[in-house]
Structure 1
Amino acid sequence: TDLMRRVLHYASHGYTYWTAGEIAPAKAEALALKLAERYGTGRTETQRYRAKGRGEANTMLLMLHDPKDRASPVYWWLMATPGTGLVHELEELADIRRKRANLTGYELLVLPRKRLEKDKPDRASKPTWTWVMTQETFDGWKSRIQTAVRQDNEKLIQQMLHSLGKVPGFRGVRAQAYLLYRIARADWKRTRKGELPYPAPLVRYCGRYRKAGAVAVAEVSRKARRQKQQKMPVS
């Protein structure tokens, strides 16, 4: 969820070109250093501001690693703004507005936003970036709901609703989660001839400005290298 939040943040701030991949944890630090040297992923805010003024592309590197599974790969995202620079010359970058970014069953896109009471009446509501379930993920939830409801399995229904309440709380995903609950309620009413006796799950908002949990990439790589050395046979 932290990675999804950061990708959304940078996409909404002009980093609309991207490429992604995965790498062994022991090599992640070398990759980060190479991209910082080649594309300036480690620029300060002042350096980014000046580069933008010169018409140069700014870049950002995001990485994800499961600390509970040190053998799992490090997934990385390289994001860039429009402009001149090596990143557009050397990398095959996709435009996130045309090729949707997809991550663990969710995709990033721009959706219209409903007007809020705090919005000024003379100002149009601008579409904003958000994550949504992919069609495959949404259809999987519908199938799970139908199975739970039609089997009239109380434990299965409660597990399903509990899991639905744990989906990432982005605006688009929240709307889909509550739509799925309405589908469950309608399916129950149609098959059981009554109201669904379980309340809607509470899908908590993802805090927009909440600081993401992070660890230094150097630490991840060094731990992986130490672990690899410990496993090497002694001759």
Structure 2
Amino acid sequence: MQALQSAVARGYVWHVSGVIAAEKFLALEDKFAERYDIGLSRWQRCRQRRQGAAGVRFFAYPEQGTTRFLWWLLFTEGESTAFQQEHGRRKASDRKGRLFWGAEFELVQLPTQNGKVSWSWRMTRERVQEWQDEIQAAIRTTRDDDAIKAVMARLVRLPGFKGVRQQVFELHRFAKDDWGRIRRKAKSWEPPARPGYVRFRSDETVPAAQVVQRLLVGQTPFGTEPVGSERELPEEGAMPAVNENSQTELPIPRGRDASRVLLIREAEQIRTFMTERWSYESIRLWLLDRYGAAFDIPLPAFRERVRRALQAKAVPVLKGTAEAIQAVRVVDQAKEKESEPVKEHRLSWEERRTGRFPGSGTNVVHRKKPNRDELY
């Protein structure tokens, strides 16, 4: 949300957005990479904007509780094919063209103390009404105060953008007034504090193929544990193998995702080429000569696929067989460690004072208070 807010504040006011299933997301990303070259670096986008061309950025985030992605294609004023091909574009500064995060938040311009305006997220009108209904229902549960406390605890954990904080303050006032009107004989009740401020962070990205893989096998979209390999992906991603390569003696896959698997297979060689200052076009021609039509793709899409392939480790492939190779997405697989069961030991005061810690095979458990970033 903070990355989208920063992009719109820097001039990326035109946008197209939507929701897409996880199994179709990578194809959508490749289409945008081919059309609009979304894989450019920050400095390349800056150079293009100075030359009069429009800057284009692509954002996506998994929708909570589903296997779908929320996605946004943002672009600035200037010469761009996006204005010709994206007919459903809207401008974030227009009232009817606001940028939404699902059905819960919207990006708006709010006045500041110095008379100017700034971009910030706030809840939609429908979402605020839902919060008011929850508060009223909780206050009318007169047997105990656990219901209203639970609602207020969830309210405080909302992201602390300026617009959201103002709405939370108004909901606190609404709850206090309704409490005094319904629970007159009960003791006075004060709502908790407002959400904490959002701290600015640099953009943190995760390879899209890794997130898609985790969603398709039923895991959380982000995590450090290895992806379960015992479950198979949908048949749509399966790639039947064809003839073997005479140099590598490995089956050559075919289909929509063939180039992805081959790029993972040749990741080390591609890194060597990049160290030797090979251009992307030279690397693509080398792969085209080695594997054929799988790499007969536009250069921008090839560059984006190479970038994603180099960010993850290769998945083992079958040797000397022509069996079907499942389209296992690029994942970071943790190395399996065979060790004895890990023991937990809480340090005594004497051990903490003298600095003597237990030996190997023991994890030291510290009880600490979580910081604010861990709560959101």
- TM-score, length basis structure 1: 0.82
Number of residue-to-residue matches in the alignment: 218
1:231 Cα deviation from its structure 2 partner: 10
Deviation of the 1:35 alpha carbon:
1.1
Report whether the alignment pairs 1:148 with 2:138: yes
AA aligned to 2:124 is: T
Aligned partners of 1:29, 1:230: CA distance in 2, in Å?
A: 13
**What is aligned with 2:98?**
100
Unaligned runs of 5+ in 2: 218-231, 239-376
In 2, distance between residues paired with 1:154 and 1:91? 51
Q: Which amino acid aligns with 1:227?
A: L
Task: Note the aligned Cα RMSD (angstroms).
Answer: 2.7
Greater radius of gyration (CA): 2
The separation in 1 between residues aligned to 2:38 and 2:56, in whole angstroms, is 5
Q: Which residue of 2 aligns with 1:205?
A: 197
Q: Distance in 1 between matches of 2:9 and 2:19?
A: 24
Aligned to 1:87: 82
Q: Distance in 2 between matches of 1:41 and 1:16?
A: 16
What is the Cα deviation at residue 73 of structure 1? 1.8
**Structure 2 counterparts to residues 1-235 of structure 1, below 5 A:** 4-65=1-62, 72-92=67-87, 93-98=89-94, 99-103=97-101, 104-113=103-112, 115=113, 124-152=114-142, 153-193=144-184, 196-209=188-201, 211-212=203-204, 214-221=205-212, 224=216, 227-229=233-235
Give a deviation string over 1:165-222, Cα, whole Å, max 9, x none. Answer: 111211100111011111111121223337642442441222222544x420132445
Describe the shift of the 1:67–1:163 C-alpha distance in structure 2 as closer, same or farther (beyond 3 A). closer
Of Structure 1 and Structure 2, the greater helix share is in 1
| 230 and 81 in structure 1: CA distance in 2 versus 1, 3 angstrom threshold | closer
- Say whether the 8 Å CA contact 1:27–1:221 is kept in structure 2: no
Distance 2:176 2:213 in 1: 51
State the distance in 1 between where 2:64 and 2:136 align: 35
Amino acid of the structure 1 residue aligned with 2:169? Y
- The percent identity for this pair of structures is 29
Q: Is the partner of 1:164 in helix, strand or coil? A: helix
Q: TM-score, normalised by structure 2?
A: 0.53
SS at match of 1:151: coil
